[in-house]
Chain A
Amino acid sequence: MTSTTTRTTRGRVAIAVLLIVAVVSVFVVRLVDIQVVQAEGLNAASLASRSDSTVTLGTRGDIVDANGVVLATSILRYAIEADPSAVDEFERPAADGSGEVTITADQAIAELATAMGLDPAAITAILTADPSSRYALISKSVDVATYNAIRALDIPWLYYKADQSRSYPDGSVAGNLVGFVGEDGTALAGTELTQDTCLAGSDGSEITETGEDGVAIPGSTVTVTDAVDGGDVQLTINSDLQYFAQEALAQRVTEVGAESGTVVVTEAKTGKILTAAEYPTVDPNNIDATDPAYRGAKVFSDPFEPGSTFKSITAASLIDAGAATPDSQVLAPYEYTSGDAVIHDSFYHAPMRWTLTGVIEQSSNTGISMLSNNMSVDQRWDYMNRFHLGQKTEVGFVGEDSGDILPGDVSGPTQLDDQTIYNTTFGQGLTVTAVQMASAYQAIANNGVRMPVQLFEGCRHADGTVTDAPAASTGEQVISPQAAQDTVHMMESVATTGYAADAIKIPGYRVSAKTGTAEMSDGSGAYGGAYLTSMAGMAPSDDPQYVVSVTIRKPVTITSGLAAAPVFQKVLSQVLKTYRVQPSTVPAPELPTTY
């Protein structure tokens, strides 16, 4: 009896102990499983359920002009989204604070339509397209005022998403240079694209743990990646001057029935582009309004045959090489034949006893062709290269063209036909861009020293450091100071006694200029009877400070340099006024034009 009882008790105790051990080990296994094996996944899941991940926007940088005037900036726009499945009536506190009023779905839609300036039917159509859907886009981008008005409606089935957008406060002023971005924010043209690496910011992200009501739990914010703001790009452009040039050019282009035109203003001593206007110019706020052909910067991308404005470069080369002086004499006929080449002047005249100055003043094709015989084609080709013609400028603008001078390599130009040899002395048979032409004139204006063309001052980062600023340069001596000054003085005769003299006179200042009327190629190698009229020059002639170059394409009512002359005169006057240039004090030297 006693021994049986003892055994039974022992058995019970053993079973109980075993059971306890079994249960405890189940818990231990489960504990280890949760705390160790699955720990990572469970932690992540729990964090995800109570945390909120937000994207912090990295702002794209501004584009500003030389004086800091904002030409492009980033702004926030709001996408208005709806949950069509939740569209129903809702309660809203009454305006007078007495309880709540019920707003029906139709009422809400009507209010929304008023706030957005849309037709209620259009919004209803969006919401009823798929009533079971949880997402419908009402508007991709509304401005702050509209957004605030919509938010004030307190409609529970609306959602908002902030997004970056670009705004161009000055519209089409420098629109060609500033460029634009696409709807998704990718840079598409102009400085926006050329300087994209500087301008672009990068978005960051943050994780915050929030309570049930969406309020962040203090100290729980974890920054996963920092948002980085883009840098600001400063241009050398003066936006007021650019506006003036665009307006003056546009008026003249429409007045003479032309197709398009350009104005480039550079600072003679530094090579900085102060204005690069063109008409038509894109308004980056409204790209669709502009013909796709005119959405870029033609001053950089569209080479043309310059015509007679090129004679100054040929004359400068001749003088520098010692092949001519301003007094070199030539008996210029109306028609000059050499080999297979036949050269005509633009107007009929008996053989004239002109000096090189006279040839420039009268813009004689035969005269400059005959004087160019004193210089080899190789030498002329060499000078074109020294003026950086046929090469892209230092700006590196997107879509920039190099222009096309005589084909050749380091050893010299390839063999050319006689006609082209002579045509290239007066700017036909080769192409340059508007900026290249202004740059060549800058070298002549700056005592023969060509400064690198500059459009960008650099990239200013958020911390104030400036990078990508062009290296300081002392320039390149392209021609001798004497040759440059002689050329400037010869061109002065165009402004004092040439056919366009009255149109480009600026009281108090000595002006040097050269007219041009180039025949335009019809695209198939022949000249098509259309003209590109131009005017390029500098002032004041005693110490040139600014270079202005104007081209007007395919004018109808006036087809000589007179089409471009008023624009040249207005822009140059404005430049001299803007930069407070002292009037000339030394009278112009009177170089003989005939002998």
Chain B
Amino acid sequence: MTNLATVPIERLGAPAPAGEPRRRWLSPAPDRVARPRQRPRIVYAAVAIGGIAVIALAQLLLSIGLSDGAYQISSLQSQQKDLARTNQALTEQLTAFSSPQNLVQNAQALGMVSNGNTVYLRLSDGAVLGSPTPASAANAPIAANQALVPNSLLQPEQVVAAPVPDASSAPQAAAPDPTVPWQGALPSPQTH
């Protein structure tokens, strides 16, 4: 026992009051090890659980977005179909309207006649080839006749009504007022 007491205190550590040296030797080690071990455990758990929650939430939002998009696509597709149908119906109408039968019939209903008497002006010498005569229904090369070149897509009501010349407005139209109405300030002489 005495032998033990004679062991120089310096060999065991820093000089300290009795009882203290034991604590100083032992306490630092567990302190250093325990702290790093405990802290990461909580962070990891929190990260893992939080990650799962975020993933679950993202998944949920994504699938909500997707299914919402599916309904939007579906509705837009049916809208597109409707528009395509309308487009087709209008195109059908347009092509039937632009058929030669329809154009010729309507032109004739409006009082237009095609001049069968072709006359040419030769630019090189100014010569008039052929004898110019006004167009008349009698000498039109062709007169539209639905029965001869039929088009069953055309309805009779598609022919416009011939315009009725308005007797009261005709003379006015024939003699327009030749004077041009003045616009702006009146010009005045610059005399001093």
How far apart are A432's CB and chain B's nearest CB, in angstroms? 26
How far apart are A30's CB and chain B's nearest CB, in angstroms? 32
Q: Are A286 and B150 in contact (CB under 8 A)?
A: yes
A248 to B140, CA, bound (A): 10
Q: Are B129 and A171 in contact (CB under 8 A)?
A: no
A250 to B100, CA, bound (A): 15
How far apart are A469's CB and chain B's nearest CB, in angstroms? 26
Using a CB-CB cutoff of 8 Å, which residues 205-220 of chain A contact chain B? Answer: 215-218
Known contacts A171-B99, A573-B118, A577-B118; A246 and B149 CB within 8 A of each other: yes
Known contacts A171-B154, A215-B74; A507 and B120 CB within 8 A of each other: yes
Q: Are A171 and B144 in contact (CB under 8 A)?
A: no
How far apart are B103's CB and chain A's nearest CB, in angstroms? 9
Chain A interface bracket (under 10, 10 to 19, 20 to 34, 35 or more) = 35 or more
Q: Are B85 and A76 in contact (CB under 8 A)?
A: yes
Query: 1/0 per residue A546-587: CB within 8 Å of B?
Result: 000000000000000000000000100110110000010100
Using a CB-CB cutoff of 8 Å, which residues 271-314 of chain A contact chain B? Answer: 279, 281, 283, 285-286, 289
- Closest residue of chain B to A286 (Cβ to Cβ) is B152
Partner of A75 from B66, B69, B73, B92 at Cβ < 8 Å:
B92
Point out the residues of chain B lying under 8 angstroms from A90, CB to CB: none
Known contacts A145-B89, A248-B141, A250-B145; A289 and B150 CB within 8 A of each other: yes
Q: Is B71 an interface residue (CB 8 A)?
A: yes
Q: Are B98 and A246 in contact (CB under 8 A)?
A: no
How far apart are A503's CB and chain B's nearest CB, in angstroms? 13
Partner of A218 from B70, B120, B124 at Cβ < 8 Å:
B70
Q: Is A327 an interface residue (CB 8 A)?
A: no
Chain B interface bracket (under 10, 10 to 19, 20 to 34, 35 or more) = 35 or more
Partner of B149 from A144, A145, A171 at Cβ < 8 Å:
A171
Known contacts A171-B101, A218-B66, A570-B142; A250 and B92 CB within 8 A of each other: no
A215 to B122, CA, bound (A): 70
Point out the residues of chain B lying under 8 angstroms from A336, CB to CB: none
Q: Are A172 and B120 in contact (CB under 8 A)?
A: no
Point out the residues of chain B lying under 8 angstroms from A395, CB to CB: none
Q: Is B49 an interface residue (CB 8 A)?
A: no
How far apart are A461's CB and chain B's nearest CB, in angstroms? 21
Q: Is A159 an interface residue (CB 8 A)?
A: no
How far apart are B59's CB and chain A's nearest CB, in angstroms? 14
How far apart are B107's CB and chain A's nearest CB, in angstroms? 13
Using a CB-CB cutoff of 8 Å, which residues 38-95 of chain B contact chain A? Answer: 66-67, 69-71, 73-74, 85-86, 88-89, 92, 95
A508 to B154, CA, bound (A): 38
How far apart are A502's CB and chain B's nearest CB, in angstroms? 14
Q: Are B149 and A281 in contact (CB under 8 A)?
A: yes
Q: Are A172 and B149 in contact (CB under 8 A)?
A: yes
A167 to B154, CA, bound (A): 12
Q: Is A254 an interface residue (CB 8 A)?
A: yes
Known contacts A216-B74, A254-B148; A244 and B66 CB within 8 A of each other: no
Point out the residues of chain B lying under 8 angstroms from A573, CB to CB: 116, 118, 141
Point out the residues of chain B lying under 8 angstroms from A574, CB to CB: 141
A70 to B67, CA, bound (A): 43
Q: Are A506 and B88 in contact (CB under 8 A)?
A: no
Interface centre among A147, A168, A508, A577 (most CB of B within 10 A): A508
A70 to B91, CA, bound (A): 11
A75 to B89, CA, bound (A): 9
Point out the residues of chain B lying under 8 angstroms from A170, CB to CB: 99-101, 151
How far apart are B73's CB and chain A's nearest CB, in angstroms? 7
Show 15 residue pairs from A and B whose CB-CB distance is below 8 angstroms, ordered by the A residue: A73-B95, A144-B89, A144-B92, A167-B92, A170-B151, A173-B151, A239-B100, A243-B104, A247-B149, A507-B130, A508-B120, A573-B116, A577-B118, A583-B122, A583-B129
> Which residues does A use to contact B, with CB under 8 Å?
70, 73, 75-76, 143-145, 147-148, 167-173, 215-218, 239-240, 243-244, 246-248, 250-251, 254, 279, 281, 283, 285-286, 289, 506-508, 570, 573-574, 576-577, 583, 585
